[in-house]
Structure 1
């Protein structure tokens, strides 16, 4: 997802993070895989809200931009990550691997069509055990 110097960033994928070491690497890799497959120039931003479990190091090692957000809370982490985003479009995903980063095409397509906000529903069709 690293753009060429002369190309603007189209997409910023922002992930709030508080002690997500168990799932963060998989989320960043899926975001990168999507971007490569879709040929999207962008960035991954991990908005860290005070992790103590190695999440920050994982994010850096994976090449994500880490934004430290001092004000506690999920909303604060979102706002800090969004403020740092440089892409034309922003897609927000949790870093606990509860969403599928590999299927962002529909979101990006609607954003490209001019929609201001696109919302997904991970519970569409019901919630299965496990």
Structure 2
């Protein structure tokens, strides 16, 4: 499980949720795990390319990684992400409640076409 120090969000032309994941090799460093969707430009993409893209600084992939499911367990403060390539488990216990609320709002906007399965959001 990855520990998240904070979450930043953006809800302009780009819808972004970025998790600042603490690097297990160096707790003073963080790596960004970012969820991104740009609805304004999605009509230019093929149907199979549309959705929430996922990038993590730890992994460099040539293939597009799309989010298929996000489960938020508020009681245990854990987020589980399922993508087209891998799974992530994030510990949100260090994250401020306002950041989690902002994350939930942006995730709902990202899922305007129900391409991802949101649980607990």
TM-score, normalised to structure 2's length? 0.27
Specify which structure has the higher proportion of helix: 1
Structure with greater contact order relative to length (CA < 8 Å, sep ≥ 6): 1
TM-score, normalised to structure 1's length? 0.26
